[in-house]
Amino acid sequence: MSLSENLSNFLQLLSWRDFLDVFFVAVLLYYLLLLIRGTRAVQVLIGLLIVGLLYYFARVTGLVTLQWLLGNLLIFLPFSVIVLFRQEIRRALAGFGRNPLWGLTATQKVENTFDEFAVAVTSLASRRIGALIVIERLDGLRTYVENGITLDAELSYDLLINIFSPGTPLHDGAVIVQGDRIAAAACFVPLTLNPELSREFGSRHRAALGITQETDAVAIVVSEESGTISVAFDGRLSRNFNAKTLRNELYQRLVTDLYPQPKKSWSNLGKRPLPQPAPPAEVTAEAAVLPVVGEPAEPRKTA
């Protein structure tokens, strides 16, 4: 019997339910791999696969002691997977529970705050006042809001400046922003556990990386020592922003990534397109922080 006949007979045994079953399993595995791509979970998964291969090798070769040891170890494998992948599992479940329709009413409110962020943050940076602002995206930050001082106030330049002024009760900790409102101040957020992080980064930068590793939030950090503006997202830190690049970065993370614009069609070719801000510029070490209008710029030290 030829190969084509064997393949034809095999396909005849499959029903449409089998194809549907295989399709959904493939999609699920694909998104699980995307979820752990670029994280430490990849190395953990490779380690688990090596343990499984060793167990199979021990069974084939008759290594009784090794087989007994690995067999007892694999009994606890489901519990160890839950513990080791708890962060990825939590983020996956949070992704399934997100409501994409929320952005239809919230996009405009979020865009209106970009100028307030740019002016306030550059003003703090020019005065070497440290600040940490965490902006909520799709993952809720209620847990961190509850451990701070609840404000629920409209976001404004004056309020941000007053919160981070030295000597005020709310100066330490993070400000959490939800939409166009400041939800809370003086909030405690988790610090990153990355041992490879340079020691030049203080607690604010470590907190910014920690909260963006736990959630999909965007964190803005102003260095108290150098006046450098940094943005943390997805566990990565970009430095040396100015007012223009900061505004573009916020638009990219809070509007473009979450609510992409529909593609052009023949029905809207005659319509006048709405003005869009320039795409985020690449941040380089030469990007300078804009000084406050009317005040001389202070010299900055590059990292």
Tokens representing 56 are 């199979």
- The pair of structure tokens assigned to 261 is 């614009």
The residue to which tokens 């030829």 are assigned = 2
The more confidently predicted of residues 104 and 169 is 169
The larger pLDDT score, comparing residue 203 to residue 274, is at 203
Query: What is the arithmetic mean of pLDDT over 10-22?
Result: 78
Query: What per-residue confidence (pLDDT) applies to 281?
Result: 39
Confidence check: pLDDT of 285 > 50: no
pLDDT of residue 278 exceeding 50, the answer is no
Mean pLDDT confidence for 144-169:
90
Q: Where in the chain is the domain with CATH 3.40.1700.10?
A: 103-260
- Whether 126 shows a pLDDT value over 60: the answer reads yes
**Residue 173 and residue 188: Cα distance in Å, rounded?**
6
State the average pLDDT for the chain: 76
Please give the C-alpha separations between residue 213 and each of 54, 87, 210, in angstroms, as whole numbers. 33, 9, 5
pLDDT of residue 287: 35
pTM value is 0.58
Q: Which amino acid is at 158?
A: D
Strand locations in the chain, DSSP E? 131-135, 149-154, 174-178, 181-187, 218-222, 229-233, 236-238
Using 50, 70 and 90 to split pLDDT, how confident is the model at 38?
A: low
Q: What angle do CA 197, 203, 209 make, to 5 degrees?
A: 55
- The pLDDT value given to residue 36: 66
The more confident residue out of 104 and 216 is 216
Residue 139 · residue 93 · CB < 8 Å: no
Whole-number pLDDT of residue 82: 75
Which has the higher per-residue pLDDT, 214 or 259?
214
Question: In whole angstroms, how large is the CA radius of gyration of the chain?
Answer: 25
At 66 the pLDDT is 85
pLDDT at residue 155 greater than cutoff 50? yes
- pLDDT over 50 at 9, yes or no: yes
**For a pLDDT cut of 70, what percent of the chain falls above it?**
72
Mean pLDDT of 131-139: 90
Mean pLDDT calculated for residue range 66-79: 82
- Show Cβ contacts of residue 224 under 8 Å, excluding neighbours closer than 6 positions: 128, 129, 130, 202, 204
The pLDDT of residue 289 is above 90: no
Residue 245 — pLDDT band, cuts 50, 70, 90? very high
Look up the CATH superfamily of 103-260.
DNA integrity scanning protein, DisA, N-terminal domain (3.40.1700.10)
* Distance separating alpha carbons of residues 144 and 158, to the nearest angstrom: 23
Residue 266 is which amino acid?
A: W
Of residues 111 and 22, more confidence is placed in: 22
